[in-house]
Structure 1
Amino acid sequence: MVWSIRFLVLLLACVLPALVESRVRHYKFNVVLRNKTKLCSSKPIVTVNGKFPGPTLYAREDDNVLVKVTNHVKYNVSIHWHGIRQLRTGWSDGPAYITQCPIPPGQSYVYNFTITGQRGTLLWHAHINWLRATVHGALVILPKRGVPYPFPAPHKEVNVVLGEWWKSDTETVINQALKSGIAPNVSDAHTINGHPGVVPNCSSEGGFTLPVESGKTYLLRIINAALNEELFFKIAGHNLTIVEVDATYVKPFKTDTIVIAPGQTTNALVTANQNSGKYMMAASPFMDSPIAVDNLTATATLHYTGTLASTPTTLTSPPPQNATQVANSFINSLKALNSNKFPAKVPLKIDHNLLFTVGLGINPCPSCKAGNGSRVVASVNNVTFVMPTTALLQAHFFNKSGVFTTDFPGNPPMAFNYSGGPPANSSLATTNGTRLYRLAYNSTVQLVLQDTGTIAPENHPIHLHGYNFFSVGRGVGNYNPKTDPKKFNLVDPVERNTANVPSGGWTAIRFIADNPGVWFMHCHLEVHTTWGLKMAFLVDNGKGPNQSLLPPPKDLPKC
Structure 2
Amino acid sequence: MKGFILTLFVVLRVLPGQALVHRYSFIIEEAPYTRLCSTKNILTVNGQFPGPSLHIRQGDTAIVHVHNKGNQNITVHWHGVKLPRNPWSDGPVYITQCPIMPGKSFIQNIQVTDEIGTLWWHAHSEWSRATVHGAFIVYPKRGENYPFPQPRAENTIILGEWWKSDIQDVLTQFQHSGGDPIVSDALLINGQPGDLYPCSKQDTFKLEAEYGKTYLLRMINAAMNNILFFSIAKHQITVVGSDGSYTKPFKSDYIAISPGQTIDFLLEANQAPDHYYMAAKVYNSALPVPFDHSTTTGIIEYSGNYTPSSPLSFPRLPLLNDTKASVNFTGGLRNLASKVDVPLNLDTKLFLTISVNLRPCETNNTCTGPAGHRFAASINNISFVQPQINILQAYYGGLRGVYEEQFPSFPPLKFNFTAQPFPFKLTIPSLGTKVKVLEYNSNVEIVLQATSLVWSPDHPMHLHGHSFYVVGSGIGNFDEKKDPLNYNLVDPPLRNTIAVPRNGWTTIRFKANNPGVWLMHCHLERHATWGMEMVFIVKNGKSPQEQLLPPPSDMPPC
Distance 1:244 1:538, change over 3 A: same
Equivalent of 2:158, from 139, 158, 161? 161
Distance 1:304 1:82, change over 3 A: same
Q: Deviations over 1:108-128 (max 9, x none)?
A: 001112111221100100000
1:211-360 to 2 correspondences below 5 Å: 211-290=208-287, 291-307=289-305, 311-312=309-310, 313-339=312-338, 344-360=340-356
Q: Which moved more, 1:46-55 or 1:361-370?
A: 361-370
Give the conservation status (yes or no) of the 8 Å contact 1:463–1:524. Answer: yes
Q: Is 1:389 the counterpart of 2:385 in the alignment?
A: no
Partner secondary structure for residue 122 of structure 1: strand
Q: Which moved more, 1:277-286 or 1:365-374?
A: 365-374
Q: Which residue of 1 aligns with 2:409?
A: 410
1:189-208 to 2 correspondences below 5 Å: 189-202=186-199, 206-208=203-205
Give the conservation status (yes or no) of the 8 Å contact 1:155–1:218. Answer: yes
Distance in 2 (CA, whole Å) between partners of 1:479 and 1:292 is: 29
Distance in 1 (CA, whole Å) between partners of 2:435 and 2:416 is: 26
Distance in 2 (CA, whole Å) between partners of 1:161 and 1:326 is: 21
Q: Which residue of 2 aligns with 1:431?
A: 430
Aligned length: 544
Give the conservation status (yes or no) of the 8 Å contact 1:83–1:465. Answer: yes
Distance in 2 (CA, whole Å) between partners of 1:203 and 1:66 is: 36
Distance 1:425 1:26, change over 3 A: closer
Measure how far apart 1:274 and its partner are.
0.7
Distance in 1 (CA, whole Å) between partners of 2:110 and 2:251 is: 35
1:77-92 to 2 correspondences below 5 Å: 77-92=74-89
Distance 1:434 1:276, change over 3 A: same
Equivalent of 2:127, from 130, 148, 156? 130
Q: Is 1:366 the counterpart of 2:362 in the alignment?
A: yes
Measure how far apart 1:22 and its partner are.
4.8
Q: Which moved more, 1:146-155 or 1:423-432?
A: 423-432
Q: Is 1:47 the counterpart of 2:44 in the alignment?
A: yes
Q: Which residue of 1 aligns with 2:548?
A: 549
Q: Which residue of 1 aligns with 2:105?
A: 108
Distance in 2 (CA, whole Å) between partners of 1:35 and 1:274 is: 39
Distance 1:283 1:203, change over 3 A: closer
Distance in 2 (CA, whole Å) between partners of 1:112 and 1:173 is: 32
Measure how far apart 1:193 and its partner are.
0.5
Distance 1:247 1:20, change over 3 A: closer
- Counterpart of 1:293, as a letter, is F
Q: Which residue of 2 aligns with 1:487?
A: 486
Q: Which residue of 2 aligns with 1:7?
A: none
Distance 1:539 1:144, change over 3 A: same
Q: CA RMSD in A?
A: 1.7
Distance in 2 (CA, whole Å) between partners of 1:294 and 1:311 is: 29
- Counterpart of 2:180, as a letter, is A
Give the conservation status (yes or no) of the 8 Å contact 1:277–1:307. Answer: no
- Counterpart of 1:296, as a letter, is S
Partner secondary structure for residue 28 of structure 2: strand
Q: Deviations over 1:417-455 (max 9, x none)?
A: 111136436342110000000100011111000111110
Measure how far apart 1:390 and its partner are.
0.8
Partner secondary structure for residue 485 of structure 2: helix
- Counterpart of 2:483, as a letter, is D
Distance 1:141 1:413, change over 3 A: same
Distance in 2 (CA, whole Å) between partners of 1:204 and 1:257 is: 24
Partner secondary structure for residue 96 of structure 2: coil
Q: Deviations over 1:79-114 (max 9, x none)?
A: 000000110010001111111111000000011121
Distance in 1 (CA, whole Å) between partners of 2:215 and 2:225 is: 28
Q: Deviations over 1:310-360 (max 9, x none)?
A: 543222232210122221221111111114xxx521001111111100011
Give the conservation status (yes or no) of the 8 Å contact 1:416–1:423. Answer: no
Q: Which residue of 1 aligns with 2:503?
A: 504
Give the conservation status (yes or no) of the 8 Å contact 2:439–2:538. Answer: yes
Distance 1:209 1:489, change over 3 A: same
Give the conservation status (yes or no) of the 8 Å contact 1:453–1:504. Answer: yes
Q: Which residue of 1 aligns with 2:4?
A: none
Measure how far apart 1:199 and its partner are.
2.6
Q: Which residue of 1 aligns with 2:522?
A: 523
Give the conservation status (yes or no) of the 8 Å contact 1:421–1:455. Answer: no
- Counterpart of 1:305, as a letter, is S
Give the conservation status (yes or no) of the 8 Å contact 1:99–1:392. Answer: yes
Uncovered stretches (5+) of structure 2, i.e. residues with no partner: 1-9
Partner secondary structure for residue 394 of structure 2: helix
Q: Which moved more, 1:99-108 or 1:302-311?
A: 302-311
Distance in 2 (CA, whole Å) between partners of 1:385 and 1:22 is: 39
Distance in 2 (CA, whole Å) between partners of 1:373 and 1:287 is: 24
Measure how far apart 1:292 and its partner are.
1.7
Give the conservation status (yes or no) of the 8 Å contact 1:278–1:307. Answer: no
Equivalent of 2:148, from 135, 151, 163? 151
Distance in 2 (CA, whole Å) between partners of 1:54 and 1:525 is: 21
Distance 1:203 1:545, change over 3 A: closer
Distance in 2 (CA, whole Å) between partners of 1:219 and 1:510 is: 29
Partner secondary structure for residue 529 of structure 2: helix
Measure how far apart 1:366 and its partner are.
1.9
Partner secondary structure for residue 102 of structure 2: coil
Distance in 2 (CA, whole Å) between partners of 1:397 and 1:46 is: 32
Measure how far apart 1:544 and its partner are.
1.6
Give the conservation status (yes or no) of the 8 Å contact 1:473–1:487. Answer: yes
Q: Is 1:175 the counterpart of 2:177 in the alignment?
A: no
Q: Deviations over 1:435-486 (max 9, x none)?
A: 0001000111110001111101110000000000000000001001111101
Distance in 2 (CA, whole Å) between partners of 1:204 and 1:538 is: 49
Distance in 2 (CA, whole Å) between partners of 1:347 and 1:225 is: 30
Give the conservation status (yes or no) of the 8 Å contact 2:359–2:375. Answer: yes
Q: Which residue of 2 aligns with 1:450?
A: 449
Give the conservation status (yes or no) of the 8 Å contact 1:36–1:45. Answer: yes
Distance 1:205 1:415, change over 3 A: farther
Q: Which residue of 2 aligns with 1:120?
A: 117
Distance in 1 (CA, whole Å) between partners of 2:103 and 2:466 is: 32
- Counterpart of 1:59, as a letter, is I
User: Could you state the TM-score of these two structures normalised by the residue count of structure 2?
Assistant: 0.95
Q: Deviations over 1:29-79 (max 9, x none)?
A: 000101111111111100000111000011111111100000011111000
Q: Is 1:68 the counterpart of 2:65 in the alignment?
A: yes
Measure how far apart 1:289 and its partner are.
1.6
Give the conservation status (yes or no) of the 8 Å contact 1:199–1:205. Answer: no
Measure how far apart 1:170 and its partner are.
1.1
Q: Which moved more, 1:457-466 or 1:359-368?
A: 359-368
